[in-house]
Amino acid sequence: MYEEHLNKILEAQVKLPGDEAILELADFFDALGNPTRLKILLALMEVGELCTCDLSAISHQLRILKDRKIVAYRLDDEHIREILKIALKHMEE
């Protein structure tokens, strides 16, 4: 292995977040990888709010989104909205 490559690898390892942060990030993207949960998030982005009584058939999926702190009672986090918008734009390209 070239020394230059080794230096880049070592630099990347130092800059990586800790194991706990990596696991949380993996859980976040895992939650977005489920088609039903993704549909829920996209619907919430479009209409703002939906009553949980209207979503009772998918309560298990909502619980996963809530447990992973993607939704609370409302999809108020602009960061999550931006991630979804970027992903949708990427799919259109």
Residue count (the chain):
93
- Residue 7 included in any domain: no
- Selected residue with higher pLDDT from 15 and 92: 15
| Local structure of 74: helix, strand or coil | coil
- Residue 14 included in any domain: no
- Domain tally, the chain: 1
- Residue 27 included in any domain: yes
Give the CATH number of the domain where residue 67 resides: 1.10.10.10
pLDDT for res 31: 85
pLDDT for res 21: 85
Q: pLDDT tens digits, residue range 73-85?
A: 555 667 677 777 7
Q: pLDDT tens digits, residue range 35-48?
A: 888 888 888 888 77
- Residue 4 included in any domain: no
Provide the domain limits for residue 27. 19-92
